[in-house]
Every structure is written in C-alpha cells, then in structure tokens.
Structure 1
C-alpha cells in the first residue's frame, strides 16, 4: 500500500490577549487574512460565521450572484442581517409560524447543516477566485479569533471547517486562549492545526483613568480581555455604569443589526437601569429568535438568564415562558433531566390549567421519546398525554379548544405508536386533521395541519398502507413545498413502492432546497448501487461520510463497494477510518477480513472474521468467508459447521451448497457431499459444470 502524502494543516494561535494573537497572525502570512471576532458577546450565535459572511458576501454577490443564490438559506441562517441585501429565503411553514401556531421546532441536526453549506460556498468561491486570476496559488485565509468565547454554533462550524477545508485552498487561523478549548473544538484543533504560541509583550504602565477604563469595557460590549478594564467596570459607580449600558444599548438598537439583539443588547439591558423590565424584554426577544432558528445552546442560556431575572409571582407569564423555552432548548441539547426539573417546578408552582396542559404534553414527550432508553415509560407518558387532552377540552374559545385538543391528541398518538397501537394512533391523527378543517379558520394553524398530515402519512407507512401514505406525503409537500425533510420521506416511500426514479427525483429536490445533509446522499447512493452505478454510489457514500464521518451505514457501503470495484487500497483506508470510530462493527471487521483474503493474509483474515462473528454471530458474509478460510486450511468440519449457520440465514443458495458439498467431500463424506451438489443443481444460478465435475468425484 502506498504511503499517503501528509495533509497540510491549519494554524492554531494561542495566547491570552487578543493583541498578542493579532501580532502572531500578522507575522505568519504575507497578506492579511479575513478576520472575524467570534466572541458571542457581540452578536450571540454565529457571531464569527456571520461576520465572515458579512465580509465576503457583498463582493461575491456582485461577481457571482448565482453562487450566493445557491447558498442563500445557510447564508441567511448564519447572517440574518444580510436579508436586506439578499431578500428572504424560500419560506417554510415552520419558519413563518409565530406564537402558539409554532408547534414544530427545528431539530438540533439543522445547526450542523449550515456550516456544511458554508464550506461548499467557501470552496467554490476560492475556486472561482483563482480561475479569474485573483490571488492565484494562494489559499483563502480566514482568521477566527476569540474562539474560546464563541457560541456553540460557531464552535460546531469550526469543527466542521477544520475537518473539511483543505488548507491549500481555505486556510483557517484559529485564535484561542493559551489553554486548549474543551470538547470537540479542542480535539479538532489538535488533529487538524499546528499550534503557534503568541508571546505576551511586557505590559506598559496604565495611563488611562478609572472611568476611561470601565467605559472602554462597556464599549467592548463586555468582550474586552483587558483585566484593568474589567476590574474598573466591576468597581464603577453602579448608577453611572447602568446609564452607560443603557446608552450603549440604545445606540446598538438604533443601528438595527439583528445580531446585536442576540448578544450585546441583552447584556447591556441586563446591566442597565431596568434589568427586570427592559432586560427581560431584550432577553425574551433574543430567546424567541434563537428557539425559532434552532440555536439551542444560546436559547438555553438566554432562557435561564431571563428566568433568573423574572419574579415568578408578579410576572407569571414571563416566568413560564423563560422556563418552558429553556427546557425545550435543554432537551435538544441532550439534557432532558434538567428540562424535567423545570417542568416539574412549573407544575408545582402554578395550579393553572394552561400550565398543566402544556407541561403534561412536554412530560409525555420526555417519557416516550427524550429520556435515556432505560428511563422511558410509555404508559406514564400516555397518562401525561391524556391529562393534556382532558385539560385542552376545558378551553373556552371554540376555535382554540379545537386547536389545543388536536395538538394534545397528536402527542398522545405518538405515545400510542410507541406502545404499538398503530390503529389508535391513526384514529387520533385522522380525527385531528378533520377537526381542524371543520372548526378552525383555513388560514390559521397551517403548520400544525401539515404536521398532522405528515404524521398520518408515517402511521399509514408503518401499517403498510403505502398508497394512503403517498397521498398524504403528496398533500404535505403541496402545503409546504420548501421543507426538505418531506421530500426525503416521500423519496423513501417511493423506494418502498419500487419507483426508484421518483425517489431520486425527491432526494435531488431536497438537495436543492438548502444546505446538504448526509441522509440524502446515502439514500441516493443506495439507489445507484442497486442499479449497478457503483462509481456514482461510491461518490454519494463518500460525500455522506464527508458530511458525517461517523455515519456507519454509509461507511459500510462505501468500503464494500470500493472492494467490489477492485479499489482495494481505497477500501482499506475506508475500513480503517470506519473502525477508528466503530471498532466493534461486524460489517467493517468482515470487510477487513475480506481485504486480507485478497492479499493472502490468512492470519489477519482469520482474526478479523472471527471478531466479526463475535460481534454478530449471524453475519452471513463473515460466516461464508470464515468457512472458506477454514476449508482452505483443512478444517473441513469447522467449514461445514459455519456453512450450516450461514444456510440458516439464506435458505437454499447454490453457491453455499456447492461450497458445503466440497467440505463434506474433502472430509470423506461423499454421500452428504452428493446430496448438497444435487440440491444445488436444482437451483437457478448454479455453476452446473463445476458441480457436475465434483458430483462425479463423489461417484
């Protein structure tokens, strides 16, 4: 196997002061990189990525408007202040629904799609820029500073960019404090970047007065890393400091930048003259925006900060709003226990029907879906959901009563599905669709109507009623034509109905509606493989793995198709990368064993195939391969035993019977061998000439 050339690496600039990191970055590159400050105190989520797009997009739009249009969804997700320049992205019902009509929220997976789309944008921008002779042979250099203070959205983006961007094309400079950031971003920096320490210069005597120092800290929106400024701010006169915060908030609000409303403005209002009033109002606006866009790390922080400032007795509605939205965000962040604490607190604090109706639904979802598997309790979830339905029926307004009852019944339907009661679930969802059509304004609750129809389509599919399911998928696509998940689901149903061409059309339509996600490419690759387009399938599986390296099914298929295509070195690399993430995968262990057989490495093949069967004793391919190896080594009884187990999986297979007959024959059991050969001859696809020759040996 040839040794691969080491990939160039990005640069990780470490230093506790921004000024020191700036000097180090300036010394590293001949031309100034595009620099953005990632400190979440400025613009909250996507402070860094949004700043990068704000710097690049106007020029790209002027030169290549088609490139910007192709990535408009992810650009506007990370940089909403560019709406005035680009216009609105294609609307989905989820995006336009407001208030209590917002009954579906984006999954946490959506935040991983945005960086992937931006990576594609940057790579294509670099390619076009070089093709026009602009900065040839130079990478596009991007300088992300203050990463240790970034929001989770920027950290997730940087992890993806560090992995996917080739430094020869898009070079990242990442500035952090002197210690390694925790979690995934620290691991990504260690793997993909070379560290560069930024030496500190000797500090000069401070010439600024105390007031100048603390006002500088306020002007930095609380992001300054100057200890003197922060210390002076802490010790400043509270009234003067609060007035300065209010003045700075007024200035930022007048500028109209939505980003500041998610970071700096709430900070200033919290420390201004009216934290419980103007402060909580700013926090609530930012919270609602972040929840609506699926920016859950920021939403959890904003919700808990707002809850801490809100009096639970005099401002019950605001307190419930902050707690409930924080709980929703915590669930999406994988902390259902903390969310449950918040719901239980609300149920104990407020003996109000609306509070108990809402939290009953949420407690049902926790116990049927979000808690760890060992803590799920579907009967208890059904009790909570039934309580929610009962309370919904007490709503006074007829239209609202219909909506709330149907919403609660939809939750109950999910619980019934998890209990295996598909017909009950179908009845609840179908009744909900009919009731909303009869009893509510057609212009209202459009999102929830689409959710119900989508749920009914899934229940139909689970019951095997595929034509009815397709009719509902067609209806929901017509209602919400820019929502990519609907095309993914309908494409999967087309496959079940045997219409692979329509499936691929739906997958490719979804690909054009927003940033990429791996399921689309994995599914299209599966269709291509089924139709013999192995190169196209390998390409799709490889891209799915570029998006999500831990996608096990894509890895298994990618490695297998490379091996079947004779691309053995590439297959070995894919298997090794897969086993690094999934060391107990029976299929990958089997692939390693099959590759070893291709190279006549019997010892590695034996070890790998044995490990595969230890992980999955019923894995057909491993049973057959291990049997053939045993036969070649003269262990004919072991070969027969393994092929007997394989036959339990496949039934009558002519090749398997042929191989088992050979092992019987080699062990001197001519009668058993002849019986296997004769059975094989009666099956389609048998190697008749070879079997007849071996049958003659039996005689």
Structure 2
C-alpha cells in the first residue's frame, strides 16, 4: 500500500501543448498502479499512453501483447469527443486504483500552473475534480504555485536565440516523447534554427496530434508549422493542408474547413493538394452537414473535381489507390444518401475488388473504411447478417477500432443475437476509450439477455461518464422499478427530469412509481404531462387508463384505453378494456374484448376464462332479471 503523500503535478504547457499535467501525473503514479492494480493498467492502457506518452515503455513492459494495439495508427476515423472519453478513462484508472486501497489515507494531487495548461488538460482536471471521492482523493488546483515548467519558462525568457537552440537540442537528446511534442517546439520556435527545421518539427507534432485525435492541438500546431514552411516544400505543404482541413472537419468547424479549402483551391496548382481540398468539400456536403443542409449535387461536383486533380497528377500506385477510393467510396456515399442502397453496395464491392487487384500493398490500410461503409449499407437495407460479415472482414484488417466493434455489436443486436452484441460492446470498451454509449449498448444487450444486474452495472458506468445521459438513467430507472426498487427508480427519474422536465418516458416511470405507492393524483399528473408532450404515447395512455380506473373514472379510463388500441394492439390492452366494460356491466363489449385478447400467444387464458364466465353469468342474471 503506498504511503500517504502529496503529489505535485505541474501543468504548465505554454497554454497550448496537450496533457502536460497528465503526463507528469502518470510518470509519478504509474509505478504504484502497476504494482497494486496491473489489471487496471491493462484495461486503461490506451488512455494512459495516449495522454501520457512518456509512459509508453512502462505500459508495454507490463503488457507486451498490447504493442500493436498501442502503436498502430487507426484507419477508421475516431469517435466524436474522443479526448473527453480518454480523460474519463484516465480519471477512472486513478479513482478505481485508490478505491481498492482499503484503509489508505486520501492521496492529495496538487496541480500547479493550471492557468497555463492547455484546454484539454483543464478538461481532464474538471472531470477528475467532479468525479473524485474526497475521502479517497483530494484534487487541488493551484494557479499561484510555480512548478518546474513555469520556472523553466521564466528562465527561457532570458535565453538568447542561440541558447534556445542549444536547449532544444539538449531536450531532444533525452528522447522523451512529451518533450518532443512540447518544450522542444517552444525552444525551436525562439531559436536560430532554420525555418525548415522548425516547420518539420511542428509538422511532425501536428501529424501525431491528428493521429491520436487531439484535433485542437493538431490544428494550431499545423498553423504554426505553416508560418515557417517554405514555398518549395510541397510534401510539407500537403501534409499541413490535410492536417488542417481534417482537424477542422473533426472539430465540426465545417464553415472554416470549407473556407480553408476554397482559398487553397484558388491559390495552388498542385493537383494532390487540389484533390485533398476537393474531396474534403465533397465529404462536408454529403456526409458531415446536417441532412437539411446537404447538397448532393454540389458534392458530386467536388468529387468530379477531386478525380480530375488525381488524373492530372503524376501517376503511381498511390494515385491509383486514391482514385479507387475517391471514385467508388464517394459515389457509394452519394448513392446511399439518395436512398439507392443497392447501388451503394455494388460500388463498395467494386472498390474493394479494385483495391485487391490493383493496389494489394494498400489493401489492408484502405479496405477497412470501404468495408465499414459496405456494412452500413447492408444494415440500411435490413441485411444484418451481411453487415456482420462485412464488419468481421473490416475487424480482421483493423482489430483495434472501437467503432467497428460498436457497429458490429449493433448489427448483431439488429439480428437478435444479444450475446454476440454484448461481446462486441465489451471489445469496444476494451479497445477504448470507454464511452457512455458503449456501456449503454452493453446494458441493452444484458437486459435483452435477462441479466438485469449486469445491465444495471453498465447503465451505472455510462452515468459515471455522463450524468446527463437521459436514456441510461431512464433504462436504469425502469430496471429498478421492475426489480422492486421503486425508491431508486424515482431517484433516477427525478434526476433526469431535472434536465429534461417533459421527457414522456421519464414521466411514465415516475408515474408508475407513484401509482405503485398509491399516490394516484401524482401518477395521473405525470401520465397527463407525458401525453401533453406526446398525445399517442402508448405507456402513458395505458397507465393513465389504469390510474383513472383506480380513481373510479371509468368513462375517461375507457377513452384512454380506446386511444391506446389505435396506437398498439396486444392481449393486455384488450384484457384491460374488457375489464373496464365488465365493471360497467357492458357484458357483450367485455366478451368481445376478451375474445380479441385470446387470439394472442401471450394471453392469460386462465384469467380470460374466469372473466368470460363472470360476463356470461352477468348476461344470465340480466336475462333472469328481465323476465322477472
């Protein structure tokens, strides 16, 4: 058990280099975590090495079988908000490690110079501070207390350009990845190094940040590199062009990306750069814009321009591969957007065949995206089995893409194979970083497999990452209710309703809790509010009818029962309406509803038999009374 101590973590990063504090934190804590909880290091290995690059060797020493997973750039683009989930993953590692140390005094993490941290580091500090249990971990943010980086910066302010160059060379010689991505760049920028040297260093850092999904960092680092790049260095110019435009696209800054590409197209005569920008403009119009803003005709024009640029470039294997990718994959996207799913499938299959035949050396790198899009087209055409097969091919080529496992899990769920879906969701979580949606989908698969307790655990993990995840809170509330824990169900429903006060499903859950506790007025109010939001909400109609019946307002209960049966028909609904008719002595209408209920496989025939007998007796009694 580690001795109680305060760990000072300097976050100074000149305001722009990502996760300096995380790197410094893990350099100090990782030896203890490896000793106490090696399984946690394995579980969160991706988060550790991505946010703390200096730990890469230590993590591989512990988990050598993860070398490929932690070292290979992904072909599949990263999920949205990746840095948020990476930060949550690192926070989970620290918090779960501390929670296992029974009886250990709180660990104090003192983060200094947070005002000079970059935005991603500050996001991590916000997450850790919010999630930390103060009995286990004290998080202190001190903007006044200088750390080593701040002192180094003040000293650096007095350096001459020649001394900056010497300092950059000294730091480079340490072969420490975090220094190459931060302090070395800072000193080079203020040194006598040639513009080409500065441009290459910043370009390499920008490529790294794009590879790991730090899009804000890749954007501003690429822009810095562009200030130093010479006009004759086409290779660097192309790299910076693609890094800038794809960073903007991943950040959702589509107008800025379009403006950047438009300027580049008007100022360059390089066909490869023209292809990069034209292709990006087409993707923005066909894939990234909201449906109401998409312009497929304009996207097709951009695609044609991208192919024309490719055809005008000096030809080689790379151009052949790019032409196949742009032509087949982009045309398939346009076909899919236009609802021509079979055409999209054909084009993706042709693209894969052309890649295999003409560019076998690039097949492994390029095919996963085509296979992913082929799988999506199969799903759109309700061919879940074919989607699973295509996803499986993609995963064989790209075995460390969380998105591919997530999407194949969804395909398994679409074909009703919840066990296989759960296995894929767990693989997505393992590949990481874990996201709320991964845990939520795992919860759905567990619930479908009748494992309510594991489903509750998954929904709880989703809510740890995103407390405002209404669907996870709704499903957890429903499971609590069905498991006989109405207080917990009400607590979840109330928490979610604070952020979504008119959510009809949440109102129905709370209404059910109120109904089961006998608070009929509160239940009626909840079901009625749900129906204001959604007048055809089945659960609200059904349960308000039940509530009204309990309140002896049979006429209104019947109106809701009638409305429910216009939305959905099932044995329980006909049985309920039959009960309402029976309570009024409307024996024939009741018998008609019981007859309808009997036609369903899940009908309660014993209950229907008793009620039919009662109705028939009612008819006999009526006839006897009439004769008398």
Q: Normalising by structure 2, report the TM-score.
A: 0.88
Q: 1:553 aligns with which of 448, 467, 471?
A: 471
Comparing 562-571 and 473-482, the one that deviates more = 473-482
Of residues 639-648 and 511-520 in structure 1, the stretch that sits farther from structure 2 once superposed is: 511-520
2:172 corresponding residue in structure 1: 253
The 8 Å contact of residues 640 and 660 in structure 1, kept in 2 or not, is answered as yes
Aligned to 1:431: 350
- The answer as to whether partners of 1:72 and 1:89 remain within 8 angstroms in 2 is no
Aligned residues of 1:151 and 1:298 also touching (Cα < 8 A): no
Match of 2:622 in 1: none
Q: Please identify, of 431-440 and 260-269, the stretch whose mean Cα deviation from structure 2 is larger.
A: 260-269
Shift of residue 176 of structure 1? 4.0
1:276 matched to 2:195? The reply is yes
Query: Judging changes above 3 Å, is the alpha-carbon distance between structure 1 residues 413 and 95 closer, same or farther for their aligned structure 2 residues?
Result: farther
Aligned to 1:688: 608
Distance change in 2, residues 1:219/1:588 (3 Å): closer
The yes-or-no answer on 1:463 pairing with 2:436 is no
Query: Alpha carbons of 1:603 and 1:65: their partners in 2 closer, same or farther (altered >3 Å)?
Result: closer
The SS at the match of 2:431 is: coil
Aligned counterparts of 1:356 and 1:655: Cα–Cα separation in 2: 63
* Structure 2 match to 1:657: 574
Question: CA distance change for structure 1 residues 61 and 660 in 2, over 3 Å: closer, same or farther?
Answer: closer
Work out whether 1:169 is the aligned partner of 2:86: no
The answer on whether the counterparts of 1:218 and 1:244 sit within 8 Å (CA) in structure 2 is no
Q: Secondary structure at the match of 1:256?
A: coil
Match of 1:449 among 354, 367, 384: 367
Distance 1:284 1:467 in 2: 43
The residue number in structure 2 matching 1:367 is 285
Determine which structure has greater relative contact order: mean sequence separation of CA pairs < 8 Å that are 6+ residues apart, divided by chain length.
1
Structure holding more helix per residue = 2
**1:646-667, Cα deviation, whole Å (9 max, x unpaired):** 112322x222122223434556
Q: Distance in 1 between matches of 2:125 and 2:175?
A: 27
Aligned to 2:114: 147
Distance 1:278 1:399 in 2: 30
Tell me if the contact between 1:681 and 1:691 (Cα under 8 Å) persists in the aligned partners: no
Q: CA deviation at 1:541?
A: 1.4
Alpha-carbon distance change, 589 to 654 in structure 1, aligned in 2, over 3 angstroms: same
SS of 1:143's partner is: strand
Taking a change above 3 Å as real, the CA distance of residues 219 and 566 of structure 1, as seen in their structure-2 partners, is closer
For the residues of structure 1 that align with 2:71 and 2:42, how far apart are their CA atoms?
19
TM superposition shift of 1:104 = 4.1
Shift of the 375–498 alpha-carbon distance from structure 1 to 2, 3 Å rule, reads closer
Q: Could you say what secondary structure the match of 2:355 adopts?
A: helix
C-alpha displacement of 1:624 = 0.6
Give 1:373 shift.
4.7
1:528-607 equivalences under 5 Å are: 528-607=446-525
Q: Distance in 2 between matches of 1:344 and 1:259?
A: 35
Distance 1:697 1:538, change over 3 A: farther
Secondary structure of 2:382's partner? Answer: coil
Three-state SS of the structure 2 residue aligned to 1:288 is helix
Shift of 1:138: 0.8
C-alpha contact 1:42 1:264 (8 A) present in aligned 2 = no
Paired position in structure 2 for 1:21: none
- Give 1:95 deviation, angstroms: 5.5
The alignment partner of 2:165 has SS state of: helix
Matches of 2:519 and 2:617, distance apart in 1: 31
State the partner residue of 2:625.
none
Structure 2 residue ranges without an equivalent (≥5): 620-628
Contact 2:16/2:118 (<8 A) preserved? no
Deviation at 1:619, TM superposition (A): 1.8
Q: What is the CA–CA distance in structure 2 between the aligned matches of 1:337 and 1:690, rounded to whole Å? A: 68
- What is the CA deviation profile of residues 524-579 of structure 1, one whole-angstrom value per residue up to 9, with x for unaligned ones? 32222223222222122111221222333222211111111111111111112222
Kept in 2: contact 1:470–1:493 (CA 8 A): yes
1:66–1:655: structure 2 CA closer, same or farther, 3 Å change rule? closer
Kept after mapping to 2: 8 A contact 1:382/1:416 = no
**Deviation larger for 673-682 or 542-551:** 673-682
**Alpha-carbon separation, structure 2, partners of 1:688 and 1:532:** 28
CA contact (8 A) 1:367 1:378 kept: yes
Tell me if the contact between 1:665 and 1:698 (Cα under 8 Å) persists in the aligned partners: no
Equivalent residue number for residue 189 of structure 1: none
8 Å CA contact 2:577–2:590 kept in 1: the answer is yes
Distance 1:694 1:305, change over 3 A: farther
Note the alpha carbon deviations across 1:376-397, whole angstroms, 9 max, x for none: 2233223322332343344443
Question: Which of 578, 595, 601 is the matching residue for 1:678?
Answer: 595
Question: For residue 49 of structure 2, what is the aligned residue in structure 1?
Answer: 76
Q: CA deviation at 1:31?
A: 6.2
Q: 1:195 maps to what in 2?
A: none
Q: Are 1:287 and 2:206 counterparts?
A: yes
- Are 1:90 and 2:66 an aligned pair? yes
**Rounded Cα–Cα distance in structure 1 between residues aligned with 2:592 and 2:578:** 8
1:420 Cα offset (Å): 1.3
SS at match of 1:259: helix
Aligned counterpart in structure 2 of residue 121 of structure 1, from 93, 97, 121: 93
Preserved contact between residue 46 and residue 154 of structure 1 (Cα < 8 Å): yes
What is the alpha-carbon distance in structure 2 between the residues aligned to residue 479 and residue 526 of structure 1? Answer: 28
Note the aligned Cα RMSD (angstroms): 3.1
CA distance in 2, matches of 1:64, 1:660: 58
The answer for unaligned runs of 5 or more in structure 1 is 1-29, 178-197, 201-215
Between 286-295 and 531-540, report the one with greater CA deviation: 531-540
- In the TM superposition, 1:476-487 aligns within 5 A as 476-487=394-405
Cα distance in structure 2, aligned partners of 1:348 and 1:221: 43
Pair 31,496 (structure 1): closer, same or farther in 2 beyond 3 Å: closer
Q: Paired residue for 1:183?
A: none
Partner of 1:41: 14
| Whole-angstrom CA distance in 1 between matches of 2:268 and 2:501 | 50
